[in-house]
Amino acid sequence: MEHSLQETIALLTRTPGALSVLLRDLPETWTSRNEGQDTWSAFDIVGHLIYGDRTNWIPRARMILQFGESPTFEPFDRWGHMRESRSKSLEQLLDEFARVRSENLSELRGWNLQPEDLDLRGRHPAFGVVTLSQMLATWAIHDLTHLHQISRVMAHQYREAVGPWSAYLGVLQCAGHSSP
Amino acid sequence: MEHSLQETIALLTRTPGALSVLLRDLPETWTSRNEGQDTWSAFDIVGHLIYGDRTNWIPRARMILQFGESPTFEPFDRWGHMRESRSKSLEQLLDEFARVRSENLSELRGWNLQPEDLDLRGRHPAFGVVTLSQMLATWAIHDLTHLHQISRVMAHQYREAVGPWSAYLGVLQCAGHSSP
């Protein structure tokens, strides 16, 4: 399946609402526990999604549109959300994610990108040259990678409770963790 | 984390709404494509969740409450949803999932299970003796295993589109597929 900006936006539009329905007012035993030291809870992951929307995807897209392949993108701080989330509730984070995502998609739509614009190129600190198309597709799949992670982190909390069924539950065998 | 019936119900309550927000009216390129031969699309997975709610969890719980360890549960047909979903739209399936889940949770709440009831035992065709507690915990984690699967199946559609970022996206490395 080729990248389609319209389909990317359709997915990006839905993530904050889906996470809000899944996580809002859920007991904290589901949302505040992680998979062990230096891993993230559902709470942490929502903070990371906000931080990515603030500092990563749209700022990098602006750089591509304004400056092309030079300068290189700033590296993304995968732990940058920790400071900002600390004093907030999950409900505040869910509201904030909905707001920042909505603002970002308004900006993206406002650019009125044409098919040829998606071939514009930027420079990633690890990958070298990348296209705007690849980056916008990645923004959507980054949402899915963290929905995937949230379901795994929450499932982990019942690893013992499910007894022998753990053998049938793929989520408890998942080793598809994101790179640091 | 030990099994808590209240926390299990809190999670089971939210899944249909979260899937509805994520999937409703999403372009079919996301929802109707799978990962290859004999794999499931998001559409198929919603059908499977309905079928499980109809034929598996609550019927098996009724058997435990009425008959205990004998007879053995009927094996669950993992492809049973295919017939029933074929003529329906995703939107119909999402509505149906919300309805059957709500009915099932009403029935479960109506049983007013006490902590000692959760130790009641049934007989699983593959595992032998299991407890009601393990089975109800599994119902919730079964939701999460399929949320995990839906995010993986949808991400798979952009495997090429993301270019070099595929190395950073854990969902594209996931091998935590459920057993057949």
- pLDDT tens-digit profile of A111-136? 999 999 999 999 999 999 999 999 99
If phi > 0 it is left, if psi is from -120 to 50 it is alpha, else beta; for residue B159 that is alpha
Q: How does residue B180 score in pLDDT terms, banded at 50, 70 and 90? A: very low
Look at residue A167 and tell me whether its pLDDT is greater than 50: yes
What pLDDT, on a 0 to 100 scale, did the predictor assign at position B133? 98
Which tokens belong to B72?
Answer: 């053995």
Nearest CA in chain A to B27: A7
- pLDDT tens-digit profile of B7-22? 999 999 999 999 999 9
Calculate the CA B41 to chain-centre distance: 14
CA dist., res. B121 & res. B61, Å (int): 10
Look at residue B99 and tell me whether its pLDDT is greater than 50: yes
Q: How does residue B86 score in pLDDT terms, banded at 50, 70 and 90? A: confident
Higher pLDDT, A105 or B175: A105
- pLDDT tens-digit profile of B57-81? 999 999 999 999 988 998 888 888 7
Look at residue B2 and tell me whether its pLDDT is greater than 60: yes
Q: Is the peptide bond before B71 cis (omega within 30 degrees of 0)?
A: yes
Mean pLDDT value of segment B92-110: 98
Which tokens belong to A178?
Answer: 């994101």
CA dist., res. B173 & res. B156, Å (int): 10
DSSP string, A13-29: HHHHHHHHHHHTT--HH
- A158 closest CB neighbour out of B1, B19, B170: B1
> What is the DSSP secondary structure assignment for residue B74, as one 8-state letter?
P
Question: Which whole-number Å values give the CA distances from B117 to A166, B113, B133, in the listed order?
Answer: 22, 6, 8
B128 pairs with which residues across the strands? B124
Look at residue A179 and tell me whether its pLDDT is greater than 60: no
Calculate the CA B177 to chain-centre distance: 13
Look at residue A82 and tell me whether its pLDDT is greater than 90: no
CA dist., res. A105 & res. A75, Å (int): 22
Nearest CA in chain A to B179: A168
CA dist., res. A131 & res. A61, Å (int): 10
What pLDDT, on a 0 to 100 scale, did the predictor assign at position A180? 43
Interface contact flag, B178 A169, Cβ < 8 Å: yes
pTM to 2 decimal places: 0.96
Tally helices (H) and strands (E) across chain B. 7, 2
Mean pLDDT value of segment A45-50: 96
Nearest CA in chain A to B26: A10
Calculate the CA A54 to chain-centre distance: 11
Which tokens belong to B180?
Answer: 């057949």
Q: Report the SS3 class of residue A161.
A: coil
Q: Which helix (H) or strand (E) holds A47?
A: helix A42-55
Interface contact flag, B178 A170, Cβ < 8 Å: yes
CA dist., res. B123 & res. B130, Å (int): 6
DSSP string, A88-138: S-HHHHHHHHHHHHHHHHHHHHHT---GGGGG-EEEETTTEEEEHHHHHHH
CA dist., res. B121 & res. B65, Å (int): 9
What pLDDT, on a 0 to 100 scale, did the predictor assign at position A166? 96
Q: Which residue has the tokens 């407890």?
A: B131
* CB-CB neighbors (< 8 A) of B170 in chain A: 145, 148-149, 176-179
Interface of B with A in 54-113 (CB under 8 A): none
- B119, exposed or middle or buried, with CB in 10 Å at 0-12, 13-18, 19+? exposed
Look at residue B178 and tell me whether its pLDDT is greater than 80: no
Look at residue A177 and tell me whether its pLDDT is greater than 90: no
Interface contact flag, A137 B161, Cβ < 8 Å: yes
Q: Which residue has the tokens 């499977």?
A: B48
Interface of B with A in 121-180 (CB under 8 A): 124, 127, 130-131, 133-135, 137-138, 140-142, 144-145, 147-149, 151-152, 154-155, 157-158, 160-165, 167-179
Closest C-alpha to A3, from B152, B29, B158, B168: B158
User: How many interchain CB pairs under 8 A, A with B?
Assistant: 216
What pLDDT, on a 0 to 100 scale, did the predictor assign at position B30? 98
CA dist., res. A128 & res. A147, Å (int): 27
CA dist., res. B91 & res. B93, Å (int): 5
Contact A120, A61 (CB under 8 A): no
- pLDDT tens-digit profile of B124-171? 999 999 999 999 999 999 999 999 999 999 999 999 999 999 999 999
What pLDDT, on a 0 to 100 scale, did the predictor assign at position A81? 80
Determine which of A137-146, A171-180, B4-13 has the lowest per-residue pLDDT on average.
A171-180
